[in-house]
Structure 1
Amino acid sequence: MDPHQWLEDVAGDDALDWVRERNALTVVEYGSSDDFVSLRDDLLAIYDADDRIPVVRARGERLYNFWRDGEHPRGLWRRTTLDEYRKSSPLWETVLDLDALCEAEGENWVWHGADVLRPDHRRALISLSRGGADADVTREFDLETLSFVDDGFFRPESKGGLSWIDDDTVFLVAADGPEAVNLAGYGRRVRQWRRGTPIESAEVVFEGPADNNGYGIYPGRDHAEGFERDLLVHYLDSRDTALYVRAIGELGFTKVEAPDSASKDVHGQWLTIELREPWTVGAVTYPAGALLVARFDEWLSGDRRTLEMVFEPTETTSLVGVTYTRSHLVLNVLDDVKNALVVLTHGGGGWSRRPLEGVPEFGTIAVSAVDGDESDGLWLSVNDYLTPPSLLLGSADAVAPAPEVLKSQPAMFDASRHVAEQHFVVSLDGTRVPYFLVRPKDAPFDGSTPTLLYGYGGFEIPLLPGYSGGIGKGWLEKGGAYVVANIRGGSEYGPRWHQAALRQNRHRAYEDFAAVARDLVTSGLTSPAHLGMMGGSNGGLLAGNMLTQYPEMFGAIVIRVPLLDMQRYHTLLAGASWMAEYGDPDDPADWEFIQGFSPYHLFDAGREYPPTLIMTSTRDDRVHPGHARKFMAKMLEAGKDVRYYENIEGGHGGAADNSQAARMDALYLTFLWRHLAG
């Protein structure tokens, strides 16, 4: 029996007393000094700065934005017009003041987003979470009167959602009882709910199996003119999905025939299929990582003749994003973890391609459609480690002018003394692994530079260069170096990069990370005493494995919202949905390899470990805070050099507002700097 299992009682009095005691000790040691207070205040000023670029979404004639600052810590949902948005100081109309709502209702609401009714944009379904948990409520809001609708649609708190079908009908997914959830705690039924009827009477139109362990079910109406229909995505685990469709007015859904492992999407007349595994159709085998396009109606009828491969990966290229506009597909391609945008257009001779002109050559480029199927407009966001973000408004149309720079964010830290570089290292099995290094230009290469190494390595998530005011102010500006490792488990080189570190091959991600750490020392930039690392969530599992398997390589380690007990992870909150990634601990064959990367079981009380800070959130209902608590208890029991901090709010992101984020970030940066900079 695990003696620390009592700490899995998330809100239990004894467990929370233990948490508060640990928190208090950490605050006394690191969270009350002048250097901490100064950094916390600097970070909060950055996170609350008025000159940040407001991210917008077009809904009809208006652009909507959710905004937090010092006066509105919980945030404002607001809107403006494109003409106003072009101005340096746009005039915003407040739609919902979340701070005022929290005060009026005595709640600690955290914004989770809004689904705006199409095509007239008169109503919205707003999702709000208590304290930042994944579980939330949904309430109907009138965008003309700017008030919640009396007796409108309301979904009680659970993991699920509401989405519009039409003015008087919604799709309802709710994890509202034992019989309504899958193994991972997500709703497994889709119900169609008519306005004015009891929620209990909503008719079930789709039901997934009770033993499914996926991320849930996501239905919605496709409003593309001339192609209106209902679509539904059913997650089978953390990766695989099934896509379903039904015509307007029908009750049941029909599965779209395509591999479950593929990512599938529909836009207008087109079906796209992004392969994670090779797939043979007729006499042709398409490779993993390829993007296929077919005419959707013909595909549903069984006609495969329109299927065409519009992207084929190479050893260095992968597809990181596909954006639909009214008339084009825009592909975001990585080549050795560097972006390029390609526009695809269908004509009489099939699909043609051309680069998107006028896009900056530097940095990471993120692209999204301005308004989906209503125009060819594109939002383009460009930044890198040392260059603040710029927002451009462009078009996928070939005759459109060059993208227009709408917003440029001022610098949040002094980057003049640093340089950003890309390097490659060979991992234990001979694989070439890239990493990005941001270092002082005058780094002495005598092993003395305080260096923070970050990684993730899971769930097909790529780590691309990005500007961080927090890292810049709290680490780089002090003279530190910052490193991001593109280890296997992500998708920097497509599906193969992810699959190379799945299940019994998880160790490869850790070997890659260790290879990067060694290279930083071998180069002379830093040394183990000055090298620290941090990871969160799956990256917290990475950090736990660096601590337990490679402790001699680091001078300090930060473990955030982590998975650590891999014997019980699948029984805690959403853990069952990750078994495709890690394996099933209840299967003896799987447990044989899982225990090899379970930090809770790899911990050796007789071994020396570097100073460690473990951080989590009480309200994290995705990765259970019990992982962090139990590991802390085990390290503390063995007398190790370890600290702990658990934010009582925050969800999986760790913080519910900017002030909490500033406090958490200042805490770990202060901890690292003291131990690594001497």
Structure 2
Amino acid sequence: MRTFTKETVLGALALAVCLAGGAESPGAGISYPATRAEKVTDDYFGTAISDPYRWLENGESPEVAAWTEAQNAVTRRYLDAVPARPAIAKRLKALWNYEKMDTPVEAGGLLFYTKNDGLQNQSPLYVQEGPEGASRVLIDPNTLSADGTVAMDWWYVSEKGKYVAYGTSPNGTEQSVLRIRETATGRDLSDVIDGCRFSSVAWLPDETGFYYTRFPKPGTVPENERNYNRKVLFHRLGDDPEADTLVLACPAKKEIGFGVALSNDANHLLISAYEGSDRSTEIWVKDLRSGALVQITRGFHDQYEGEIYNGVFYCLTTEGAPNGRVFAVDLVDPRREKWTEIIPEGKDSLDSIAIYGGRLFVESLHNATCRVDIRGLDGKDLGSVPLPPMVSVSGTSGRWDSRRVFLTVSGFTLPKTVLRYDVGEGSLATFFAPRVPFRTDDFATEQVWVTSRDGTKVSMFVAHKKDLRRDGTAPCYLTGYGGFTISETPFFSPVVLWWLEQGGVFALPNLRGGGEYGEAWHRAGMREKKQNVFDDFYAAAEFLVANGYTSKERLAAEGGSNGGLLTGAALTQRPDLFGAVVIEVPLLDMLRYHRFSIARYWIPEYGSSEDPEQFKYLRAYSPYHNVRGDVTYPPTLLMTGASDSRVDPLHARKMAALLQAEGKGGPFLLRVETKAGHGQGKPTAKRIEEAADRFAFLVRTLGMKVR
């Protein structure tokens, strides 16, 4: 059995507000903590770069801890002074309180899925006796900590459902420890394996062991190497993990990662090797009968992915086809000249393929909206799954030999819903639909096209009330990402819906750098072309203002992670365009980003200041290096997590210090969440409080009040 998921990477969303007259100056009465500046200068190929807040990079320093506590205190006073803050939090809690389910996985006649009753900090894993049977909790991460800060990061069910391999980590660190839960008894086996962050697991059909990926054991390598040097290993249940068999590693290049999957007949192990965060891959296949390990593709130039079925590797690739095409590769002779193209490149971007019930399910994007087509194994068109219009497919699952396929869909006004498709009958039924405490009939979603600086047409989703008056008075929440081939497709959030209920506009553009329009769209927004992403975002903002959806004073920009880099650039490049900016878990010092945590994985996307040509364009847009003392900046809230092991919180700390020291306007506030990381595994209670703070900031800085 296999499960394929695609999560939209966004920051939290919007708050419904309306204009209140006589608002105070947003930064009135702010007194920032004292921050010392040092004389630190680096030489980059003859260019001197000052870095006065280098000392704030050391998150282990007591001085930095005290400084952060002082910053949090200033931000706390500012946000708690908003009269509507308690009402905001109360309403958010009510909107969050509905049942949610993710895509079920079938094994041995059982269904496994995570489900949240509404306000649980973490979603437990359930097991159910078939589609109509009774269910019970199998793993409840809420019992692992009193405050809900231990998360279940991932899970893989064995072939017949006897066991579940799962990983847990505390405080959003994502440093997973692998354990094995026995389904029948609900107890863990003695096997415990460290270093299993982002692990991929492929069980043997007899459930006696599994192939998996693992990082070096803590303490065996320097701390700055802990998140690199990944390996593929085999573990037999009950054995000492330190004696696990090595299958594949790449010691010459520490940024190489791996994913594993077993063929339906268990004759082949498919290993996908990827360089950093780039989707360009090399494919290896291990014949489990002979032990031979064969490299199918060489060089990290194109994307190759898929699965092995009856001795044939069905491969989705961007080789010679930026929108993707599909080949059948007979593993008896996998030489490139023997490949057979079964699905040629088309106008739409192919996103993924999977084999369920002996057929190919092909997910694609048409104008950033998902569709799922069904093909024979020879590529013959057999129709499509009749999905609702303008939705995302966030997960699919099924078995090679089963007619039953589960799909999870959602849209801006469609809560996440699990559908069940019958391959033989071609019928679609609802397996799970949540009951939500709000109406969705009063809202509309439209797709518009904006023209970027270089003439490129960029699509954008805009959601609002059907009776919206486009007179420029509505508040608008503009968010985006634009990187790593991540596609921004319609999704559901009760917080967005609340914004819409209050007359707000929500806008989500499909910026270059994403995967909505294929690999060419991605490459048009990476490395030396990163400025295109920012220009697309500004074009979206200008369109919203020019067409009466909002005004500059009513326009808030928000982004997280790579989207935090986006809004950091928006702050420093176009401070005139926004009434407020929210920058979350961001990359901001683009000259030193690659030195911390897992960031070397991102060099294929951004480049590195260690290269003289790449230094030039990174310096040109790096937000931390483009703050000017003669510019007035809009109110800005920087948000990060103290345990973020993806994007180090140093970026937010240094940017806050620099803005407070040199920037005009503001205020410039820093909020550092304790016992939280990049966002993955964050407890529901923390998510609600974080959202309430974000919206309180917008209410106060934009002169708004909650209806």
Match of 1:313 in 2: 346
Structure 1 residue 96 corresponds to structure 2 residue 127:
no
Deviates more, 1:37-46 or 1:458-467: 37-46
1:77 counterpart = 2:114: no
Post-superposition offset of 1:360:
3.7
Give 1:377 shift: 2.2
Cα offsets for 1:445-494 (capped at 9, x unmatched): 33211111010000001111112112222x22222111001110001111
Counterpart of 1:470 in 2: which secondary structure?
helix
Residue of 671, 690, 694 corresponding to 1:645: 671
Where in structure 2 are the equivalents of 1:199-218 lying within 5 Å? Answer: 199-214=241-256, 216-218=257-259
Rounded Cα–Cα distance in structure 1 between residues aligned with 2:483 and 2:405: 29
Aligned mate of 1:224, from 264, 286, 295: 264
Q: What pairs up with 1:179-328 in 2 under 5 angstroms?
A: 179=221, 185-214=227-256, 216-220=257-261, 222-225=262-265, 227-239=266-278, 240-248=280-288, 251=291, 253-257=293-297, 260=300, 261-269=302-310, 270-278=312-320, 287-300=321-334, 302=335, 304-314=337-347, 317-328=348-359
TM-score by length of 2: 0.86
Distance 1:306 1:74, change over 3 A: closer
Amino acid at match of 1:121: G
Task: Provide closer, same or farther for how the CA distance between residues 480 and 71 of structure 1 changes in structure 2, counting only shifts above 3 A.
Answer: closer
- Give the structure 2 partner of residue 329 of structure 1: 360
Residue 111 (structure 1) aligns with = 152
1:139 corresponds, among 172, 176, 179, to 179
Residue in 1 that maps onto 2:216? 175
- Structure-to-structure mapping, 1:400-549, within 5 angstroms: 400-473=425-498, 475-549=499-573
Letter in 2 for 1:133: T
How much has 1:140 moved relative to structure 2? 2.1
Gap runs ≥5 in structure 1: 86-90, 279-286
Distance 1:250 1:24, change over 3 A: farther
Q: Give the letter for the 2:215 counterpart.
A: A
Greater shift after overlay, 400-409 or 609-618? 400-409
Question: 1:158/1:335 Cα in 2 relative to 1: closer, same or farther (>3 Å)?
Answer: closer
Contact 1:183 1:210 in 2 (8 A): no
State the distance in 1 between where 2:103 and 2:371 align: 22
- Maintained 8 Å contact 1:59/1:121: yes
Measured against aligned partners, the alpha-carbon deviations of 1:318-358 in whole angstroms (never above 9, x if no partner) come to 12332321311112222222333221113xxx43103225x
SS of corresponding position for 1:206 = strand
Residue 371 of structure 2: aligned partner: 340
SS state at 2:94 partner: helix
Selected match of 1:588 from 598, 612, 631: 612
For 2:16, the equivalent position in structure 1 comes to none
Q: Distance in 2 between matches of 1:310 and 1:520?
A: 39
How far does residue 369 in structure 1 lie from its aligned partner after superposition? Answer: 4.5
Q: Whole-Å Cα distance in 1 between the matches of residues 241 and 388 of structure 2?
A: 52
CA-CA distance at 1:202 after TM superposition? 2.8
Q: Which of 112, 115, 130 is equivalent to 1:64? A: 112
**CA distance in structure 2 between the aligned counterparts of 1:469 and 1:387, rounded to whole angstroms:** 10
Inter-partner Cα distance in structure 2 for 1:581 and 1:243: 21
Deviation of 1:311 after TM superposition, in Å, equals: 3.7
Instruction: State the secondary structure of the residue aligned to 2:414.
Output: coil
Taking the aligned partners of 1:660 and 1:139, their CA distance within structure 2 comes to 26
Distance 1:162 1:433, change over 3 A: closer
Deviation, structure 1 residue 15: 2.0
Contact 2:235/2:244 (8 A) holds in 1: yes
User: In the alignment, what sits opposite 2:701?
Assistant: 675
Question: Counterpart amino acid of 1:384?
Answer: G
1:8 equivalenced with 2:57 (yes/no): yes
Query: Does residue 29 of structure 1 match 2:78?
Result: yes
Match of 1:283 in 2: none
Deviation per residue, 1:138-160 (Å, 9 max, x gap): 112222211112xx221125636
Q: CA separation of 1:68/1:175 partners in 2, compared to 1, >3 Å: closer, same or farther?
A: farther
Q: Secondary structure at the match of 2:84?
A: helix
Q: SS where residue 67 of structure 1 aligns?
A: strand
2:654 corresponds to which letter in structure 1? K
Aligned partners of 1:107 and 1:450: how far apart in 2? 34
**1:163 aligns with one of 198, 201, 208:** 201
Call closer, same or farther: CA 1:516–1:67 in 2, change over 3 Å.
Answer: same
* Distance (Å, rounded) in 1 between the aligned partners of 2:224 and 2:336: 35
Q: For residues 82-113 of structure 1, what are the alpha-carbon distances to aligned partners after superposition, in whole Å with 9 as ceiling and x for unaligned?
A: 3436xxxxx4312123232335xx99421112
Contact kept in structure 2, 1:258 and 1:273, CA below 8 Å: no
Contact persistence 1:184–1:575 (CA under 8 A): no
Higher relative contact order (CA 8 A, sep 6+): 2
Q: Superposition RMSD on alpha carbons, in Å?
A: 2.6
Asked if 2 retains the 8 angstrom alpha-carbon contact of 1:277 and 1:289, the reply is no
- Is 1:44–1:658's contact at 8 Å kept on the other side of the alignment? no
Distance 1:74 1:53 in 2: 12
Task: Give the whole-Å Cα distance in 2 for the aligned partners of 1:481 and 1:367.
Answer: 24
Structure 1 CA distance for aligned equivalents of residues 202 and 369 of structure 2? 38
CA distance in 1, matches of 2:62, 2:285: 48
In structure 2, give the amino acid aligned to 1:42.
R
Do structure 1's residue 627 and structure 2's residue 664 form an aligned pair?
no
What is the distance in 2 between the residues matched to 1:158 and 1:345? 36
* Matched pairs, number: 646
Contact 1:540 1:562 in 2 (8 A): yes
Q: Secondary structure at the match of 2:349?
A: strand
Q: Paired residue for 1:607?
A: 631
**Contact 2:329–2:338, Cα closer than 8 Å, also in 1:** no
Q: What whole-Å deviation, never above 9, does each CA across 1:629-656 have from its counterpart, x for those lacking one?
A: 1111111222542111111123211662
Specify the SS of the correspondent of 1:84: coil
- Post-superposition shift, 1:73? 2.3
Q: How far has the Cα of 1:496 moved from its partner?
A: 0.8
Deviation by residue 1:289-311 (Cα, 9 ceiling, x = unmatched): 231221332442x3744511404
Unaligned runs of 5+ in 2: 1-39, 41-50
Contact 1:616 1:654 in 2 (8 A): no
For 1:243 and 1:31, how far apart are their aligned partners in 2? Answer: 53
Secondary structure at 1:374's aligned position in 2?
coil
Which residue does the alignment assign to 1:46?
95
Alignment-derived partner of residue 281 in structure 1:
none
- The Cα of 1:27 is off from its aligned counterpart by 2.3
Displacement, 1:367?
A: 6.9
Instruction: Choose the corresponding residue for 1:20, options 63, 69, 85.
Output: 69
Between 462-471 and 410-419, the greater mean CA deviation after superposition: 410-419
Contact 2:324 2:518 in 1 (8 A): no
Which secondary structure state, in structure 2, belongs to the residue aligned with residue 578 of structure 1? helix
Instruction: Give the Cα separation in 2 of the matches to 1:291 and 1:598.
Output: 36
